[in-house]
A and B are shown apart, each in its own frame.
Chain A
């Protein structure tokens, strides 16, 4: 997961809002279509994020100069 990807939580929150608007508000077709398109995009991105994932485990160490460095976990 790169930092460029909007967090899953944001996508899901936005998706929930879109669905609620589509379900409850009296929208014209163009708006409804635009919302649906955005919803589909977010849905696809959420699915992708939920599929291709493997837990990342790293160790945080502090260098002599005080910088934090992450590396593989040694146990």
Chain B
């Protein structure tokens, strides 16, 4: 045994809190079934009792605010209790806080079954929010599981027709109430699973008496809904009714009409979005060609500036050399006065001619470069212009509508000049409403 290290020692409070959290995290809230024992209702209004099964028993508390609306259970009575297990540290006690208490005998067979189904679905995580799938943005094929002649179907069709005429509704008819309804819904859902290219499924029915909606609480129906390969929207009854099917489905709609609204986008909104994309597409390209032109111009400017700089440097280098040359000549002339004027003149003019030739060469070079740059720049700009023109021609609503045509060869190259139209060349002429096949006359 080692000595306890100060920082490894837990305080009682820490341990109690940790155990409490562990219990709460592990169990959450759940249903437990057992026999009531040692029941005590305190003056405070809280109930304290035990739930027992054979030798096992668990302490329970049901607070005043939870038990207000019900009769106290009798000792020995079998109950379902919806509880939150936890640790009550002041008494070092594992305790169940009871939220709901139902005597098993009080429950009708149907209600018991419903509790059982709810418990089973809950246990398998089918109500969990994190398994819910989002609906597709633009649904095309949507299955509808409902009665073929109910108001629900008519509501769904009406809404779908108004919002999203691009859609396709695959009605999978089913009984939705009565004894055969769960089996019919199961068969319909099995058919939905076999449909191809489906984007979503709507299941539901219009409002009715609570018993009429019972098929949508059926465990197998709910499991089939959860299994459905595409997202399911459930719309059962009125807004105030909630079926297990609603809870299991990916999306719950208050009514069948609302289900259709959730599944189908509004065509007007989508058209508007497309329009916006068109505007953005066009302006992005206009900006892009503008940038390219500007860049070509800038590159030309830079090139020109660089050439000017070089010329200036050369001139600067040549100037002192010229001066030195002239100075040297003068000295020589001074020293050799015996030389004839003619010789001096010839020498002077020869020097001048020599220097002049040199200058001329540089000037020529400079002019040639500048011309070449200008030519290139002009070509680049013309290219950009041609591209811009081609783009506008491509835009179906603009130039073509005014009666212009765009000719392209088989490879899609735009034919711009007479030379492009070689004899017998097949080409396509695009006009406002489509393409026309054409051919250049043979030579």
Contact = CB atoms under 8 A, between A and B. Distances in A.
Interface of A: 1, 3, 7-9, 12, 15-16, 18-19, 22-23, 27-29, 32-33, 36-37, 39-40, 43-44, 46-47, 49-50, 53-62, 68, 70, 73-75
Contacts of B187: 62
Interface residues of B, number: 48
Contacts of B394: 36-37, 40
Interface of B: 136-138, 140, 143, 148-149, 153, 157, 160-161, 164-173, 187, 191, 194-195, 197, 267, 270-271, 273-274, 277-278, 280-281, 284-285, 287-289, 292, 384, 387, 390-391, 394-396
Contacts, number: 121
A70 B191 CA distance: 12
A36 B428 CA distance: 20
Contacts of A46: 274
Question: Which of B160, B270, B277, B396 neighbours the largest number of chain A CB atoms within 10 Å of its CB?
Answer: B277
B148 A75 contact: yes
Contacts of B396: 40, 44
Nearest to A74: B148
A19 B161 contact: no
Nearest to B275: A47
Contacts of A49: 166
Contact of A57 (B171, B194, B390): B171
A23 B166 contact: no
Given A27-B288, A75-B148, 11 more contacts: A1-B168, A3-B197, A8-B166, A9-B137, A15-B274, A19-B277, A22-B281, A36-B391, A37-B394, A47-B274, A68-B194
A55 B164 contact: yes
